Amino acid sequence: MKLGKPIQHFLLVAESLHHANLGVCKLLLALLFSTQFSVVVMRYLFAIGFVELQDFVLYCFATLSILGIPIALRLDKHVRVDIFRASGATASARRIDQISYALLLIPLAIVTIYYAMPLVQYSWEIKEGARETGGLGGYYLVMMMLPIACLLIIIQALALFFDKSLIHSEEVG
Amino acid sequence: MDASIIWLFILFLCLVIGILSGTAVVIVLAGAPLLVAFVASLFGHFDISYLAAFPQRVYGIMNNSLLIAIPLFVLMGILLEQSRQAEKMLLNISTLLGQTKSTLVIAVLFVSTLIAASTGIIGATIVMLGMISLPALLKSGVSKRMSSGLLCASGTLGQIIPPSIVLILLGDQISNAYIEAQQTAGNFAPDPVSVGHLFAGALLPGLLLVGLYALYTLVALLFQKRSEQTSVKPEPVETLPSQDVSIFTLLSNILPPLLLIIAVLGSILFGVATPTESAAIGVAGTILIAAFSLEKAPKYLPHLCVATVGALVVLFAMQSAGLTRVDFTTGDLIFDAGSITGTILVGAVTASLIYCCYWLHRKDVLRISLSKTIEVTAMVFGIIIAASMLSLVFRGFEGDEYVQSFFSELPGGAWGMLLVTMLVIFLLGFVLEFVEIIFIVIPIVGPVILQADFNPVWFAILIALNIQTSFMTPPFGFALFYYRSVAPAHITTTDIYISVIPYVALQLVAIAIVLKIPELATWLPELLFN
């Protein structure tokens, strides 16, 4: 199947979004560890604690846990039950994947965005902060991550839908 | 009987077909309920606005501070794998103990237990055991089926021996279910159940399993020997580098992970630190261990790592002596000799950690570890989120009420419920993965079953043992997949499936023992936390 120009452009965009997202997640993971480690050191050695830092760890974690999903989707790292599926990307296995993206995954992402947006909007309007008093502000940015992740899931699902070279071809690196 | 039971049946059917179709399980777990709910709403049998609660549930998962420990423990395990520390341990211990059948078996179990206590990464453990121990076991004359079974089973120990991801996820779900159940039963102040309780509770049953594996394998070897006495003696072949392992090399390979395990597990079990905090310490320690054994790094790097550990020990000694405290409550900062030394040492430790990370980055260990951690974490969280969609739709069809009435009609009361739950989890283990089982089954049956007078820790450990079994039940046991990927072609898939049967039986024996003697799971948590 020859792909049209707009689709090829789209695939390039999807790829660069994937790499950007992966970079963000790596950074978040590094920040998550180093902040949590500093919290531990400060608490146990100097008996100092900052609610803000603990909140920052939680923000990093929350963002990481949701943004990682489109990455795993693109790299085909989500668990599969391979009993009837031949190893490698056969045509029928690819067809099944395409159906699952179109019928299940993309609608799911759209429904989630649809129901999440009012929450995000409200949170954005009141400039929602962390749960605890004295905590870090800017929680509405974390709320934003759910619709963003869903958008990325839609983009990557479409990319996988169109580009068969993506499946089982990319290794981590 | 109304329409919703039919829709639940259709949902179940869609899930089975979807999962068996080979597409990603997460997509099916979340997408199929959505599709069924949508179609049912067209018939007026489902209130679609019920789904508006889904994003709130996702935010609940994202903000669950208990789960922060998961990416950290995963990172710890992957760093340890990438640094090849575990491989060195296995090689050295095997060489030291010699190459007879029984000593090799003991070496495999010993190293597996150590790795299990430091990480829960099942794939890495099995691949390593398959690459290093399998050739040695085969050449020493252990049959291919017995070696395969032993290696697959040993690889799953990480799921039950704390700290394990299974236990963290179970802790989260069990404590919710327990509080809900006790409140329904009229107890409005139930004792909390923490991940720490489960870690403490799983320790003895985990060691019991190791003991059972060892006992069975050694006895089976004896019988094998007796029946083979007439056959040709296997020639002694040197597979492992058999140069003398000095006691120093051995200690320098075993001691660092051992100390790290004691520090991480000890701090959780004695209630000094939360699992998340201990996991952060664990990652820091693993960075030092990885840098210590990094190949082609500057010669002073190992010395730096040792010095850093020394500085940490001094710091903790000073802290216990009360020398490092900066007193904010009185409003003034007292900078005496103690706090200044403390600050300088902390600065030095931090600098050294950053320098170690720099070298790990240069040798490409860090980048790969971070990527892999993100993938594993995403895999786990994808399923947690998908399962929350499934349970939402399940409740929307009033499935929880059907489960409740099904349970109340069971003969045998609470014990009947427990046995049915265990059977269902065991059967689900043949097709589903641990995260799916925990997040689908516990929210449904937990609030019902825990209304009975069961100890929640004991209940959780039984489930953990059961779930660990699912890793080695054919055809979808993850241990078997990983083992297949490293086993040579002359070991057929059928061989592997048959090889694990005795070990699955041993799991059932262990479950029966813990069922009969609940103290195995409850004694240590009560001792430590009360």
A15: closest CA of chain B, how far (Å):
16
Task: Give B221-270 pLDDT, tens digit per residue.
Answer: 888 776 665 444 444 444 445 456 677 777 777 788 888 888 888 888 88
- Cα–Cα distance for residue pair B10/B33, rounded to 1 Å: 10
Contacts of B28 in chain A (CB under 8 A): 100, 104
pLDDT computed for residue B462 by the predictor: 93
pLDDT computed for residue B231 by the predictor: 47
Q: Return residues 418-457 of B near A (CB < 8 Å).
A: 431, 433
Task: Give B201-225 pLDDT, tens digit per residue.
Answer: 999 999 999 999 999 998 988 887 7
pLDDT computed for residue B232 by the predictor: 45
Beta carbons within 10 angstroms of residue A135's beta carbon: 16
| Burial per residue of B493-523, b for 16 or more beta-carbon CB atoms within 10 angstroms, e otherwise | eeebbebbebbbebbeebbeebbeebebbbe
Mean pLDDT of chain A: 85
**Chain B contact present for A97, CB below 8 A:** yes
Half-sphere exposure of B116 (CA within 13 A, CB side): 30
> Which portions of chain B are predicted below pLDDT 70?
1, 99, 119-123, 226-245, 323-335, 476
Cis amide bond preceding B411, omega within 30: no
Q: Return residues 1-40 of A near B (CB < 8 Å).
A: 22, 25-26, 29-30, 32-33, 36-37, 39-40
pLDDT computed for residue B296 by the predictor: 78
pLDDT computed for residue B35 by the predictor: 93
Task: Give B136-153 pLDDT, tens digit per residue.
Answer: 788 878 888 888 999 889
**Chain B contact present for A71, CB below 8 A:** yes
**Chain A contact present for B23, CB below 8 A:** yes
Q: Cβ contact (<8 Å) for B315 and A112?
A: no
Half-sphere exposure of B297 (CA within 13 A, CB side): 24
Instruction: Determine the residue among A28, A36, A120 to mutate to test chain B binding: the one whose Cβ has the most chain B Cβ atoms within 10 Å.
Output: A36
Q: Cβ contact (<8 Å) for B377 and A104?
A: no
- What ipTM, to 2 d.p.? 0.90
Residue A169 has pLDDT above 50, yes or no: no
**Chain A contact present for B339, CB below 8 A:** yes
Residue type, position A70, single letter: P
B393: closest CA of chain A, how far (Å):
13
Residue of chain A whose alpha carbon sits nearest to that of B475:
A83
- Cα–Cα distance for residue pair B443/B392, rounded to 1 Å: 10
Q: Cβ contact (<8 Å) for A97 and B339?
A: no
Residue A157 has pLDDT above 60, yes or no: yes
For residue B474, give the DSSP letter. Answer: T
Sign of CA dihedral A61, A67, A73, A74: negative
pTM of the model: 0.84
pLDDT computed for residue A171 by the predictor: 37
A134: closest CA of chain B, how far (Å):
17
Among A71, A82, A143, select the one facing B375 at the smallest CB separation.
Answer: A71
A9: closest CA of chain B, how far (Å):
26
Residue carrying structure tokens 């043992």: B465
**Chain B contact present for A103, CB below 8 A:** yes
Check if the beta carbon of residue A68 is closer than 8 Å to that of residue B347: no
**For B174, phi and psi rounded to 5 degrees?**
-65, -40
A to B CB pairs, distance under 8 Å: 208
**Chain A contact present for B368, CB below 8 A:** yes
Residue A167 has pLDDT above 90, yes or no: no
